Amino acid sequence: DRQTQVQQQRLDFLNQHIRDLDNQIAALKVTEQEHKALLTRLSVVESLQQKRNKTTEFMNLMPQLIPEGVYVDKIKMNGQEI
């Protein structure tokens, strides 16, 4: 009877440890999803930043591309085409 009681205590301890580990796994899955969402947002921000820089780069190149004496009063961008 004593041996059964000791074995039951061990089993209870292991079951509690398993529950704790399951909770940690669940928390890690949530953290992983949050991490993926943040990476996606970061990717979008980086993409927007690059697009913003391209506009600045283009405006800096304009004086080199347009001959002297020519005035530009309108610029239209359609997707990647100017």
Q: pLDDT digit of tens for each residue in the chain (82 aa)?
A: 899 999 999 999 999 999 999 999 999 999 999 999 999 999 999 988 888 888 888 889 888 989 989 988 888 888 778 7
Scanning 1-82, the segments in alpha helix (DSSP H) are: 2-65
Determine the Cα–Cα distance for residues 6 and 13; give it in Å rounded to an integer: 11
Q: Kindly give, in sequence order, each residue whose CB lies less than 8 Å from that of residue 76, ignoring residues fewer than 6 positions away.
A: 82
- The structure tokens 């949050």 sit at 34
Please give the span between the terminal C-alpha atoms of the chain, in angstroms, as a whole number.
87
Residue 58 CB neighbours (<10 A): 13
Which amino acid is present at 31?
T
**What is the pTM (predicted TM-score) of this model?**
0.57
